[in-house]
Structures are given as structure tokens and as C-alpha cells.
Amino acid sequence: MFKIGSYSIASPTVLAPMAGVTDLPFRQLCREFGAGLTVSEMITADTGLWHTNKSRLRLPHADEPSPRMVQIAGSDPEMMANAARENVRLGAEIIDINMGCPAKKVCKRAAGSALLANEPLVADILQTVVRAVNVPVTLKIRTGSTPSSRNGVAIARIAEDAGIAALSVHGRTRACKFRGAAEYDTIAEIVAATQFPVIANGDIDSPQKAKKVMEQTGAVAVMLGRTAQGRPWIFRQINHFLASGELLPAPDFQEIGRALLRHVGALHQHYGDFMGVRIARKHVGWYLNGLPDGDRTRHDFNSLNGCEQQLKTLRNYFNTLTNYQERAA
């Protein structure tokens, strides 16, 4: 257990913010499988753009379990402060600031991880946002701009001085994008140099790796991104291993099917039929990856255009798998 401000976070596993992935339905499912904390997809600090459907759906949702954590991205301190205030007014309980995303759209406006090269601006943004709201403000960073200017420790100190409540660190620099392997030495240095909770992120894809990274870095928690796609039960598996040292068996087809059907139903509800059907295809592809007959099923699934058709196809597929599994047992 660790704390962010006055919020006690019950498990040491956090779902990473992922634009286009960690929407409300996925966050809820990951919480049910044991994620201690989830973060919304980033929302622009430009509140003038919040009327778009995309932004509207990323704003805080009253029915989301507490603490509701919303990530904002931008580079203008006053705009960021205003976005933080507006999110709190709408129900956000923790504000997370994105200085970790290398995406072009964010970096073109010198936001996300591009800010790491400008330490005075980082300090200005963090101080201004922390002053603007009476909820905890957290920060997500990479280890620096480039491997030769890895200023993660300096940024972490700036963050702590500004009153940031917790820090997530992805063990790559901005220049590395997603290439190479994440490194955890810089995260360990950040933990050693600061007092606030540090959450380790990058390439953590198994219970054993989570344990190793926590031991190596001294971080209070691990943050999981891509490995959770189509695998929300990874949180349960990691929590169990960290608590007991035992590996849980993989979920059986029946449980995978139940989770996926619930997920797809929630996507239909959240986005409406048209968008929901399209967004479901991406998630279903991840779940089916590596399952028997998964490629063909995904191919067929992608041609379906109705909610009920999608659910029926998945029900049939998982019924067949479950029957097969029971006959083989």
C-alpha cells in the first residue's frame, strides 16, 4: 500500500495512461482485476477543445471509483493550471501532468516529454498547477530528453520541491521513443534522491519482472502499459506474486471470455454503437492474440458492424473454446 496525498492506494500496481486505450471501460476492468490506481488518457490543457467528443469522453466520470486521476498535457503554466482546476471542478481527485509522452502531436507543441529539456519551465508548470488546486498533483516523466542528457534526477528534485505528490518514471528517454529496453538505474537514482512515492514504468510484463524492478529501484509501485492490453488480469497476477511469491495460473477460457464480453459491452455503452463497435475491434484483437483460432476469429470479428453481432460472435467463440477445454480435461 502507498499514499498519494490523503489517498491510500491498496495495491502496488498502476495502469499506465495510454491514449486510445485506457478509457473508462478499460480502467474499470483493470480496477476489478486489482489495479490500485488507473489514470485517464491525457486530455489537452486547452479547455477550448474540450467540447469535442474525444475530449468530452476523457473528462472525469462520476461513476469511476475513487481516486479519479486525470492526466493533462500542455506547456503553458496558466493553461495547465486552468485545466487542472476545471478537471477538479468536474470531479478529478488527482491531477497527473504528462511529461512522458513522446507523441508528435504533443511534442510539436513542446509538451509531454519535450518539456524535460527545459527545467525552468518544468518548475513553473509544476508550481503553478500545484498552487491552483487543492488535490494531489502527480507527474509522469521519462528519464530525460536523450541518453546523453538524462536529467531525470534533477526533474524529480524540481517536482518534489514544487509539491508534487508522486512521480511515475518510464525508464527510457524521449529520444529512445519505445526502442531498446527500459533501464531502471535512473529510476533507482531518483528513488534514492527523493522522499515522495516513485512508480517505476517501462517493459514490466510479468509478475517476476515487477518484483525485480521494485527490488532494483525501491519504487513503491509498478506501472503497466502495453502488457495490460487484452490482459487486464495481469494486475491480479502481479499483486498475488508480490504478496505471496506464488504464481497464479493463467485465467481459463471461460474467465477470459467473461472479461472480454463485459469489456466489449461497456465499450458499446460508453461510446455508443458506431464508435463502440470500432473501438472494440482493437481490444478484441489484443485478447485473441495467441488464443486457439484467434487470428481467424479476429479477422471475422473485424467485419462485423453491429453490437449484438459482435457480442454473439464472442459468446460462440468462447463457448466453443470452453467446451473443448472441458472435453480435454
Ligand X SMILES: Cc1cc2nc3c(=O)[nH]c(=O)nc-3n(C[C@H](O)[C@H](O)[C@H](O)COP(=O)(O)O)c2cc1C
List residues near ligand X by CB under 6 A.
16-21, 41-42, 71, 98, 100-101, 140, 170, 201-204, 224-227
Least distance to ligand X from the beta carbon of 328, Å? 33
Beta carbon of residue 323, minimum distance to ligand X (angstroms, whole number) = 35
Other beta carbons within 10 angstroms of residue 266's beta carbon come to 18
Q: Which of 30, 101, 176, 307 is catalytic?
A: 101
Q: Which residue is nearest to ligand X (CB)?
A: 225
Contacts with 240 (C-beta within 8 Å, 6 or more apart), sequence order: 207, 246, 247, 248
| Residue closer to ligand X (CB basis): 85 or 174 | 174
Q: Taking the complex as a whole, how short is the minimal distance between the CB of residue 178 and ligand X, in angstroms?
A: 7
Cβ proximity to ligand X: between 22 and 297 the closer is 22
Residue 70 near residue 95, CB atoms below 8 Å: yes
The number of angstroms, rounded, from the C-alpha of 254 to the middle of its chain's C-alpha atoms is 26
d(CA 104, CA 115): 13
Give me the least distance between CB of 91 and ligand X, in Å please.
19
Give whichever of 289 and 325 is closer to ligand X, judged by the CB atom.
Answer: 289
- If the CB atoms of residues 207 and 225 are measured against ligand X, the closer one turns out to be 225
d(CA 313, CA 304): 9
Work out the number of other CB atoms within 10 angstroms of the CB of residue 174: 24
Residue ranges of alpha helices (H) inside the chain are: 24-32, 53-58, 77-89, 104-107, 119-132, 152-162, 185-193, 207-217, 234-244, 253-288, 294-301, 307-328
In the residue annotation, 107 being an active-site residue is answered as no
Cβ-based nearer residue to ligand X, 26 or 318: 26
Residues 6+ apart with CB under 8 A from 55: 43, 44, 49
Which residue lies nearer to ligand X by CB, 9 or 307? 9
Question: What are all long-range contacts of 272-276, with beta carbons under 8 Å and residues at least 24 apart?
Answer: 273/306, 273/307, 275/53, 276/307
User: C-alpha 279: how far from its chain's center?
Assistant: 17
- Identify which of 163, 176, 164, 237 has the alpha carbon closest to the alpha carbon of residue 204: 237
Least distance from ligand X to the Cβ atom of residue 329, Å? 34
Least distance from C-beta 218 to ligand X, angstroms?
19
The C-alpha atoms of residue 115 and residue 174 are separated, in whole angstroms, by 10
> Which residues are part of the catalytic machinery?
101
